[in-house]
Structure 1
Amino acid sequence: MAEQNEVPLTKELLLHVLDEFSKRILQAFGRPIRLVVHGGAVMILHPNLKSTRATTRDVDFIERSFITEMASVGMHDAQARLQTCIALTATNFRLGADWMNSHADVALPMATDPTTNRTYDPIYHASIQANNVHLNTIYSSPGLALIAVAPFWGVALKMVRYAKDDPEDIKEMLIHGTRMNGVQWAPHILEKWLLTNCWPMGYMNYPSEQIKTMREKITHAVTQACSTPPSHSSAYPQAAPPPPPPFPPPNPFGPSSLIPPQTPESAHLHHFAAPPPPQLHPQSSVSHLSLAHIPSPSNHTHTSSTDTHRHSHRHAPSLHGFAHPRNHRPHHHSHSSSMHSSQNAVVPLGRPYYA
């Protein structure tokens, strides 16, 4: 068996592979499991993302927290069982060993709950919240559920590399937010959304040159999304954007009222122990921050001067429904002339695995 998979996985083939994989999972675990996934497989399998992708090479999943989660319910050999199922499925379909892998785990950030000093996985924690499970389960079978990472994390991870398919993928994610709830994106809206939701990425520690690059990516992503209006909208108004609205604004990915009551079957599938609700340390809050707090060529506080698309009635995305920490309202500071160093454990981003 080759180490790297070179077989292009179309949606049809991937679903066929996952069906076989699910049967092996049920045999090996004796119960259904869930995996949190990200990358190209999400773009191909998500029913509401209108991606132009035809294939992906692999399925990226978060293994580290899956192992912890299964250990919390008494299964301490979950990693070995899972890897056996992955290997057997690869052999059956003549795929490379890494057709399903967790290589990106080493590059994903962790965070620390300052009240308990416990380290936890912020991406996993946000993604297993009920509303995200309901809206972003991209594969479900008797033995397996695949849940896409929460939308803000999907965008944040692809922003790291922003190459190959990443710009197009981010564009589709942003359009999806507009399609679902009418959100009209602007650079300052996307910037604050990422800073508030994805603070474990260590944005507060970015040097000015990296901040400049990040803001250029944000502006490009918004420009791309706004140049392709969603099907229900004929065009975007061209007026200058208003000041950022107060938080919490409308949620672009659907209200929590969309969460259906859990049936016994779904409760069995999705009831796992979760880390305690972490709270942001005052010095770690980013709700009052903008990338503009670090010197950059832009003269605007909340958006890049390269923003060529001006829209009115913009609404910022919120934490609602996907929030981590649960029920968290970020701290606000009136004196924020300088960036505070994050006190959360952040794994440095190494090789960009987000494909």
Structure 2
Amino acid sequence: MSSLSIKNLTKRYDDLTVVNSVSLEVGQGEFVSLLGPSGCGKTTILRMIAGLLDPSGGQILFGDQDVTRLPPNKRNIGLVFQSYALFPHLTVHENVAFGLRRQKVSGRELDMRVGEALERVRLGQHGARYPRQLSGGQQQRVALARSIAPRPSILLFDEPLSNLDAQLREEMQIEIKRLQAELKITSLFVTHDQHEAMSLSDRICLMSGGDIQQFASPEDVYFRPANGFVSGFVGSPNKLSGQVRGGRVALAHGVELDLDRPLTEGMAVSVTLRQEDIHLVPGAEGPLAGTISLRIFEGAHVQYVIALGQGIEVLARVNSRGPLANLVPGTQVALDIAPDRIFVAQAEGVA
């Protein structure tokens, strides 16, 4: 196992810069997610680390070894693909053995290591089956077993759960978390799904437009966003705009929000309010009073659409077993939001 470092990594296509001089460190045995919207550069970074794309500039190191110009087969990586990439004509055993055979492993050692990898993903009795005889979740576990059997120093995941349904995704998140905790392989996981990143990662590298916006623990990314882009991307946000007036944020039609710190008078700002940070007070009045226009049952939660003044709507989410779960449309409510849960940034957004 090794640590992973990328230094000033850049990828350009003619005049288009896809990755803009990105640097980050992944410690030995650490699990880091590259998170962001489509086109932010996260998959391009992973493909450069894997050796599938040549960087336009910068350096990639596994521990102290510079691998920037090494071919993929010389990098000792495990790569788990979105599409599983299993050979349909080979058994599960032979799929897992594929990388080991390329390493010239054979005989009893090969069988032992294939069996060990399959046991780790709880498929020890499935070696004689073919991929077509397995469920999607089982096929993904075979892909995991194949990636760990050669004992890589770095494990790379390219959105491996996006083809699974919701229940299988949750099961595979637990499987990956358990496996990584047991093996302590340095891992980089690419995803656009914030729930996956939050639940799996030691740290999250949140990207936009080829740049890192925040690289921190899941708790810091969620509770202490570095800028307007982060606060607007993570969680379930309401996005509003306004202007700083008299130490508060003035929205349209007289609606105002408190601030937990001073900002420049007259500055145009974007405001992010997470749905789960809005506490509803039925029947109350005040500057943040409104009327429930829709109630949406979501299982574990109930979502309310609340009309504030003219033209401003916000969404709030409450526990479906809590005391506020059965408010009906037309109910007047006031919004109680702690100032430190109101994220405000200059209107330009990304720092």
TM-score range, shorter chain: under 0.3
Higher helix fraction (1 or 2): 1
Higher strand fraction (1 or 2): 2
TM-score normalised by the chain length of structure 2: 0.25
Q: Which is bigger in relative contact order (C-alpha 8 A, separation at least 6)?
A: 1
Q: Which has the larger radius of gyration?
A: 2
TM-score normalised by the chain length of structure 1: 0.25
